[in-house]
Structure 1
Amino acid sequence: MRSEIEKEYLLKAVDAFGKNFFVLSPDFKILAAKSGITPDKTSLTGKICHKFFFNRETPCPCCPVVTIIKTSFPALHHEKKGAIDPNKISCIFAYPVLEKGKLESIVVMDFDLPTLGDLEDKLQRPSVFLQKLIVSAPDGVIAADKTGKILFFSESAAKITGHTVEEALTDLDIREIYPPGGAQDVMWFLRKDGFGPKGKLKSFPVELLSKNKAKVPIYLDAAIVYEAGCEMATIGFFHDLRDEIKMQDTLDKTKLKLLEAEKMASQSRIRAIIESLPTGVAVTDLHGRIILMNPSFRSLLEIEESLEIGGYSSDYVEDKELCDFVIKVSRHSNEYTGDAAAFELVLSKDKYLMIRGRPVVGEKNEKLGAVVTCVDISNIKVLDRLKSEFLAKVSHELKSPLSTIHQQLALVLGDMAGEAYEKDLKILARAKERTLGLISLIGDLLDLSRIDVGTFFHEPGFAQIDDILQKTVLFLGDMAKSKNQTLTLKLSKRPFPSILADSLAVESVFGNLITNAINYTGNGGKIRVEADYSDKHVRVSVKDNGIGIKKENLDKIFQRFYRIKEKSTRYTTGSGLGLPIVKELLDSMSGDVNVKSTYGKGSTFTVFFPIKNNKPSK
């Protein structure tokens, strides 16, 4: 039995309940009712329900009480139409009160308990669905309050971090799943206005710290949850990037392998092309070892097939100069940087090879070695020799009669002095000058042909520069005096060292330079020849105050047969071969020549002879 206090509170609870209900006897009499069920608070006890509420003599159609009297089971009033006054009670649901299995009374309500339960279920169903969706998501989900306590921790989050859901919800702080300072960085990013609207999801890569302290790369979509403008919690959805990184790494390695395979295929194609070239090709490393050599290279240099690559050039050929050339080019010697260096190799009287080498640098400008090519120029040499022999023969055949004509003109001019008209003398003098020019041209052609075939030089000996200069200046002094020019020679006071060179070649160099200076300097001009020396070179300069050379012509004056055609040179006899002869003779002696000139003011030609294997000075 309930106590009086229990009964009192139960009655208060019934009266406070927001729905109407009452209790009937099996004969439809009202035994009890919730307080305030009628607006005027009329007592309902003892009244017949259908008479009082609906003014009916019989129960309402589909009355749930009638069903309970028949079945003793709860019943619903499913009829939606009828004389149910909305201002009065609606008998929607009823359930029996049994005493020892016998129907004692019936409770009638104007609401449907099963329907309410169903409505609550429907209301809860989306929330449960969403929860199940989050829990089953492959990406991790974590929510925490503003103190750092974890409120939600999905199974995927547990799998990624190594913490169990129970551990996370009871013992784990949100800061512990980030490396030191990581949580503060995330919050700074979420609060920053520049990365998206306040309270919206923001995405960025970050690292988590697993239970075993390993860093896990993730992509985080997170937001701060606000209520009334205050931060209440954070929620984050994170995607584990380890598989993607691993996949990307595998992809990169696959790409690298494909590139390597393509590179190898390309190298194979290049190797096949090099192997089939008619030109001999060899590749060396930085130390001068031969790492590639095609069949043409072997054939031209007569290298046996049994000799494998990997050795130095001296392992394949005996010529010391060629071996030194290959070593220097491979090691990127300063002598052979830039354009391809050339070396002519004479294997026999009838076989000549042109060897060219060029240093190879990598993409980062690192030194890798060199490429050496080999071409048979024997036929070119034969043709060149035939040309030179023909030129020498023709020049010789022309020189004799021209010399005779020149002498005869000189005799005629001498005999006619005082007898002929001045006009005739000028014509004859001009004919004599032209004849002398032709003789000079033929002499230059003979010199060039001798240079080409290698017969210009005698066996190199020790030449004394100062002696040769004094003789040359003395010999050309009369030519300068004929134009009222001053030709001077200034020598160093120190004794000159002897140089290893052909004296005839040195004399030809000086003769051509001083003759040019006299020819291209006007009457009354000055030509100054100076000579001195350093530890490495003997230096000789020929300076004049003649017509000079324009800047655009300076790089052409050493070309064969090139002459500057302008008003100032119209009456100057010349072949265009003097300076080329100077250049080729100096090249053959490992010397050099340079020129400085100002148009209208004069030129200075400076030649350098190397001092090597010199004997003591005089």
Structure 2
Amino acid sequence: MLTKPKMLVVDNDVAILNKCSQLLLGKGFEVRTAQSSKGALQILGKYRREVDILLLSLELPGLGAMSIIEVLKKTKSRILVMAMSADCGEEAIEAIHAGAYDCIRKTFTIERFWTKMDRVVERFTLARQLEILKKQRLSILKKDSYDEDTVRAIMNAIPEGLIVTDHHERIVFYNSKAADLFGLQGDTALGLPIGETLKNADLVSFITESMNLSRSGHSFGHQKVGSVEIGGMMMRVLTNSIEGDNGKTIGSVSMLHDVSQKKTMDQLKGDLVSMVSHELKAPLSALLMQLSVVLDGLAGDITTKQKELLGKAKQRTKRMIALVNDLLDLRRIEEGKAVVEIEPLDLGEILHRSIDIMTLSSKDKNINFDVKIVENLPLLSGDRTGIEAVFVNLISNAIKYTSTGGQVQVELKKAGKDLRLKVVDNGIGIEKGDLDHIFDRFYRIKTEQTKSIGGSGLGLYIVKRVVDAHRGTISVESEVGKGTMFIVSLPLEK
């Protein structure tokens, strides 16, 4: 039986440090503590093998939390990092992209603390079980003189489904749980290709991609994690390739863990976010309109100071409306509704309206728009809401990241069998290191120039998902200090 993971809690706030330690000790976890990044690195250097989960404050002085995460990443450490911060905002998103598992707000309730910690402990347990199973099964794949009956009994006692393949992606072992999941009788599936036997494209893809990555020279035991639906149950899948002593891939091992209950909770959480977003949208829009009336002097004279404060309130309200819209779009996409209703669309008309909306909302920046829309373009079969989201997000980003008095060029034309949208700005540009991540969910570019620019980090993620759903493509070119160009191509023939 696996022992409980060993914890390291790092925070310069003694009250938070003690609270976390007491909660963990109360459930029997072994806990070490540090009050600085330097102290944490010393413990990790001395007791690396005795730390499994790191509960790390993102508000450490000195070297800071990110230096610790980077060290763990460079050394390919298996330690799981649970970040802590006051609001789990931009710093948390940056930490998660760097390798942290999740983030806990420091204002946590005890129930919320254990909800988060139980997840990271579960991830640790699954990963360690998988490592043990890989080692046990490796000897069988290499045809060692191992007691097959003993191994089979051990594997069948595991509550998770287990599937092992050889290097030809043929099944060499599955336990009783996996047999139940896929309706396999006895040993009838042994030696058969996974595509014929499992009949689940997502799972087959997980196994194939993991082995291909290993064959192409990636690190030993490349792991792919995802979720698939099997027999009405949502299963979390961890797939690892297995390498022999000569470094060649000789097979894979996959573990399937039932997370249906968690999926149900995520659904409830998503429904709540959607409901709250809908409820906020109308009053926020009304508030924005009322602020505009006051600022335009239609409700009477206001002082310069009042105008300044109301102007800030208006900008904050706009950001809240944009966030609500992004959350609603995200919810729709995650429900598989990136394309809801297909109809013939006049993209020129939609683009004109999108530009008009964005021009009104950005009049303070005095952006010069250069718009070229070819007339009499063929209609595109698509989802109006999704296409509008693509146009508005790309134009909004061009405006946000372009200085006052800058220029935004928008072009829509037919290119071969596609309709092609080009949005070009002469703004601050994007670093090469960020270009690979700008379509990730919640990813935000963090520089001195972007600190004051609001956003949820969802806009380009939504754009990419909608474009993909229309079987289109999106590309980006950028140069720091000179600007950025996005090109979206949408096929006229589906």
Normalized against structure 2, the TM-score is what? 0.56
User: 1:452 aligned to 2:334?
Assistant: yes
CA distance in 1, matches of 2:471, 2:245: 34
User: 1:345 aligned to 2:215?
Assistant: no
Evaluate the alpha carbon distance shift between residue 589 and residue 380 of structure 1 in structure 2; reply closer, same or farther with a 3 A threshold: farther
Provide the residue aligned with 1:600 in structure 2: 481
CA distance in 2, matches of 1:292, 1:560: 37
Provide the residue aligned with 1:381 in structure 2: 263
CA distance in 2, matches of 1:509, 1:553: 20
CA distance in 2, matches of 1:552, 1:330: 25
Q: Post-superposition shift, 1:309? A: 2.0
Provide the residue aligned with 2:81 in structure 1: none
Provide the residue aligned with 2:316 in structure 1: 434
Q: Post-superposition shift, 1:429? A: 2.4
The answer as to whether partners of 2:203 and 2:228 remain within 8 angstroms in 1 is: no
Q: Post-superposition shift, 1:443? A: 1.8
* SS of residue paired to 2:144: helix
CA distance in 2, matches of 1:261, 1:519: 58
Q: How high is the sequence identity, in percent, across the aligned residues?
A: 34
* SS of residue paired to 1:542: strand
User: 1:529 aligned to 2:410?
Assistant: yes
The amino acid of 2:272's aligned partner reads F
User: 1:405 aligned to 2:287?
Assistant: yes
Structure possessing the higher relative contact order (Cα contacts under 8 Å, 6 or more residues apart): 2
Q: Post-superposition shift, 1:457? A: 3.8
Q: Post-superposition shift, 1:357? A: 5.2
Provide the residue aligned with 2:272 in structure 1: 390
CA distance in 1, matches of 2:466, 2:215: 20
Provide the residue aligned with 2:307 in structure 1: 425
Q: Post-superposition shift, 1:508? A: 1.3
Number of residues paired by the alignment?
Answer: 353
- Would you tell me which structure has more helix in proportion to its own residues? 2
Structure 2, unaligned runs of 5 or more: 1-139
Provide the residue aligned with 1:443 in structure 2: 325
Structure 1, unaligned runs of 5 or more: 1-258
Evaluate the alpha carbon distance shift between residue 277 and residue 459 of structure 1 in structure 2; reply closer, same or farther with a 3 A threshold: farther
The answer as to whether partners of 1:353 and 1:376 remain within 8 angstroms in 2 is: yes
CA distance in 2, matches of 1:260, 1:381: 34
Q: How do residues 65-104 of structure 1 correspond to structure 2 at under 5 angstroms? A: none
Aligned Cα RMSD in Å?
Answer: 4.7
Provide the residue aligned with 1:264 in structure 2: 145
CA distance in 2, matches of 1:425, 1:385: 43
* SS of residue paired to 2:366: coil
CA distance in 1, matches of 2:166, 2:142: 23
The answer as to whether partners of 1:531 and 1:540 remain within 8 angstroms in 2 is: yes
CA distance in 1, matches of 2:473, 2:217: 18
Evaluate the alpha carbon distance shift between residue 439 and residue 327 of structure 1 in structure 2; reply closer, same or farther with a 3 A threshold: closer
The answer as to whether partners of 2:339 and 2:470 remain within 8 angstroms in 1 is: no
The answer as to whether partners of 2:233 and 2:258 remain within 8 angstroms in 1 is: yes
The answer as to whether partners of 2:338 and 2:466 remain within 8 angstroms in 1 is: no
Evaluate the alpha carbon distance shift between residue 324 and residue 281 of structure 1 in structure 2; reply closer, same or farther with a 3 A threshold: closer
Normalized against structure 1, the TM-score is what? 0.46
User: 1:542 aligned to 2:446?
Assistant: no
CA distance in 1, matches of 2:211, 2:165: 10
Evaluate the alpha carbon distance shift between residue 593 and residue 373 of structure 1 in structure 2; reply closer, same or farther with a 3 A threshold: farther
The amino acid of 1:291's aligned partner reads V
For 1:530-563, what per-residue CA distance to the aligned partner results, in whole angstroms no more than 9, with x for missing partners? Answer: 5678889876443211122345555554455454
Q: How do residues 173-322 of structure 1 correspond to structure 2 at under 5 angstroms? A: 263-265=144-146, 274-285=155-166, 288-305=169-186, 307-313=188-194, 316-319=197-200, 321-322=201-202
Provide the residue aligned with 1:41 in structure 2: none
Rg larger for: 1
Evaluate the alpha carbon distance shift between residue 359 and residue 607 of structure 1 in structure 2; reply closer, same or farther with a 3 A threshold: farther
* SS of residue paired to 2:145: helix
CA distance in 1, matches of 2:327, 2:320: 10
Evaluate the alpha carbon distance shift between residue 490 and residue 359 of structure 1 in structure 2; reply closer, same or farther with a 3 A threshold: farther
CA distance in 2, matches of 1:494, 1:283: 57
